[in-house]
């Protein structure tokens, strides 16, 4: 697992010369591994890597509904009504978008943080969902995939998963 910093692209090589998530793995003695899913360049947080394509497909399979949890900084003062609306969802050009769960984490004077849980993930799902409500995403951090939490892993750092963590993700619904 890697704590992906903002600004890196989730690809092995970038045709535009941008830094990639593989820069964080430089010097590590690992076989070739691929990201499990994606985080866009502006997003940060928990990103898994593997060379087990069956395990990877199981985690990204929308039919299994493994939840992904995000902390999202927004440019409005979120409330319970907004969270209910995010769970109700919207129709978009890529199909319906909705949060499985949404709750207010904290509210400031002009903005706040929401915890959003998805059981499926479309390209820029959260950003599109919020934009449909007229809300800008200031920061988006994936903090968990299933029962696996990012915890205190430093930005740009990685660690190997314990076998129990690998097995847990394999068996989660």
Active site (catalytic) residues: 40
User: How many CA within 13 A on the CB side of residue 144?
Assistant: 14
Per-residue DSSP letter, 41 = T
In what helix (H) or strand (E) does residue 164 lie, and over which residues does it extend? helix 163-171
The residue among 99, 95, 125, 124 whose CA lies nearest residue 114 is 99
- CB 66 within 8 Å of CB 79: no
Give the strand pairing for 34-36 and 44-50. antiparallel
């Amino acid at each position: 697992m890697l704590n992906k910093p903002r600004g890196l692209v989730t690809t092995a090589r970038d045709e535009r010369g941008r830094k990639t998530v593989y820069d964080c793995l430089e010097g590590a003695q690992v076989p070739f591994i691929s990201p499990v899913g994606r985080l866009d360049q502006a997003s940060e947080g928990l990103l898994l890597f593997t060379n087990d394509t069956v395990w990877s497909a199981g985690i990204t399979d929308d039919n299994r509904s493994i939840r992904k949890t995000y902390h999202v900084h927004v440019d409005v003062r979120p409330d319970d009504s907004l969270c209910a609306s995010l769970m109700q969802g919207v129709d978009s050009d890529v199909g319906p978008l909705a949060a499985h769960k949404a709750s207010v984490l904290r509210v400031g004077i002009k903005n706040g943080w929401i915890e959003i849980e998805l059981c499926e993930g479309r390209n820029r799902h959260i950003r599109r969902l919020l934009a449909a409500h007229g809300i800008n995403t200031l920061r988006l951090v994936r903090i968990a995939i299933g029962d696996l939490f990012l915890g205190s892993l430093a930005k740009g750092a990685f660690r190997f998963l314990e076998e129990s963590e690998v097995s847990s993700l394999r068996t989660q619904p």
